[in-house]
Structure 1
Amino acid sequence: MSRETAEFAYDLHAGLSVLQVPEFDHLQVIGMSATLAVHLKGLGEIDYEVLRKVSDHFMSIPSYALRPVLELLAEIEFVRLLTTGRTITKIVPNIPLFDDVYEGIGEYAAKELTLNGHEQATLAILENLYKAPRNRDALFNRLGMEKGVFDRCVTLGTTSGIVAQHTARGKNILISPYYFADNLDGLADLVAGAGTPALESALQKVKDNQGWPLSLVRATGEIGGVKLSSTEAKLVEKLAAEGIVKPPTIRFGGRTESFLFTPKPGATRLNAANREIYERAMALISAVRKGQLLPNAYRIRSPVRILESLRDNGYLRGNSEARDQYHNLIVLRVAHLKQTATDRWQLHLNRTQENEAALSLAIQLLRSGTMANMEVDQEARIALSKDEEYIQSLISAAELKKRQKQVTDAQAAHEFEQLILKLD
């Protein structure tokens, strides 16, 4: 799971921020490296002093940690460091546009770094919570690790905000707000009632077929031709009804249709600036799914190909269903219609950076079921292109952040206390 190592380390760093965790040897450096790399992709030469201030202010990478982070990125040739003696003066990003940042960092970590027991345990917990919430006791038994290590890793997770604990039906449920953003109490209740395996299976089937019409699930008991068990079918209904998944809707022919997506991820995986892009991507997918699976007359054979055509050509050929099918895209200012005949309209893309990002995301969601590059802080990228004076004024306007002390381990504190007593 080399890619996942870097991805989960990114999430963990975002949560821990400036908290110091004595149990971690490499995981925070891996997380900082992934954080910096996703923001450097596609940028030109950067002055070290600018990078030092921006990475501290926006990415919680303290100055003392920046050099080892840059040296790791230089090892995998993601950056080139220009130096005077031992002093770094400039950074030249060298990350190919289509390279997977997490893959490159994860492969390096797997080959060159040995994670300790707490780091491996933390990654194992996050890997499980990424797929679905878990019953705490069941997860502990499943992972088979020492109880003290498990408890400590859960404590670190809750302190960082990457793990939340909920009680439902007398059971302790672990959920990651990073991967599931809405109605966590309702989600915990579903896990307590139906169990994790059924929920995980239902979510995976939705993930494999993002944007599937809810009415077809009800009518056929299937998603994408794959049968749902009766429990899974009920879970999909409850996920939609309780707002854990929020299906976009399209009105046509006097009826309303909802389209299913996996639960919206939290702020770390989908930052505020990119939420509108995500909404537009779901609207794009819903529109082409409607044409594929619920056409009035003309069926779309390949939703992905239609979106690629819109991206490449800037418009779609006219059809008589366009006004209903693409109505949400007009409202969201993703596109506009041009009438070409009495009963035909072409869809034309409004070419903006946000709409092109939404199109790329929609294509990716249809191809893989998952999204990427929605965690990038555009303010940080803009700041990296400015001079040191601009950055200094920006930082001075904000309150001075205080470095937080390490997350205290009760057992370690007790052992230290015993050691001091022996010295008396």
Structure 2
Amino acid sequence: MPGATPTAAASTVPVGSAGGARRLRSTTPEPGPASPWPNLPEVARDVLLEVLIHGPLSRAEIAARLRLSRPTLTRVTKALVLAGLLVEGDTRPRPSAGRPSEMLHVRGAAHHFLGVKLTAERLFATVTDLTATPVATAEEPLRSHDPAEVVAQIADVAARFPGVTGIGVTLGGIVLDGLVARHEFLHWVDVPLKAEVAGATGVPTAVDNDVQALTAAVHWFGPGAGLGSLAVITVGAGVGTGLIVNGGLVAGSHGLPPHFSHTLVDANGPECGCGRRGCASSYLMTHVMMRRLTGRPTYDEALARVRAGDPEARRVFDDAGYALGVLIGTVANVIDPEKVVLTGDGLPLYEVASRLVHDGIEDTYEDDPDLIELDVQPFDFSEWARSGAALAIKSTITGTI
């Protein structure tokens, strides 16, 4: 790995707490890994970001988008080309007579980033270039839930991909400035994951909630690229929502992501496990859905039962589909997004209950449901890991890593 691993002065933090939550032995890096682009001016970051999100652009287009003078843009783009971040590529004819416009492209191979997604059972990793295009993937069982062991496992994975510019780690739960304040499935409380991974690898690291990171990746590198408003809804083991409003990722005053999972669907509905009844989570979380079925089948077994015409399974999936529609309609009522992206490991629900999803939207959304552009995106866990790499890219470009 490039860069020396910083030395650390250790301070003891109690291991374990009520409910089995785990804390990590805290260290204070002296200092942490330096930003790879410490001297990149803000205007240069803006130019790079514009080409990264919107694809190849001419200098005239960039100047118009960012309201930059020609001399300023010339100076900035020259510096980015010399730094190997942009490259001059093909030309495009101008609408009027004159020399064709030369296009600027992001030089993807200039940097690579490692994204890591943690679940309760597995670690998923993806290495991408600067454009978030995957170049390598890895997947393995999580060796332990102990925070120190997880950090060591991430460091082992990072060692297989030397030379990465940054690392992004995503996981469910509440993450505040790189501190995992709470993670239900790993039983973590106040784990300083960002500092520990950076210290163990010698690589600048970003850590965030997985749905927030996925939303940012969709907004920068996916079907929501460049949109001013966007909602990302994930269904599966949990129910997540990420929002883009006025071109920015929404986070609350306490750094918490948006929560719509307890939107009420039916006050007499099933319990969700958090003491609430009839909320979206009580219908949509896969383990709660399976709890309502005879024999507690796996999700794939339950889907097979639906497709075979089993009435009990059909009822559970129809209920879940309607709840998903209510959730989509509620989110659309709140922010009126240009697009709603639906994904997650529970996505087959939409395939078998799409009619009920649209019924729920129609019963909830206050305007014409045709105004909602619903984009159903195929899912696998490598996409979660890719969003970790996108998190590292974003943090590097914006100078927050």
TM-score over 0.5 for the pair? no
Normalising by structure 2, we get a TM-score of 0.32
TM-score, with structure 1 as normaliser: 0.31
Bigger helix fraction: 1
Structure with more of its chain in strand, by fraction: 2
Bigger CA radius of gyration: 1
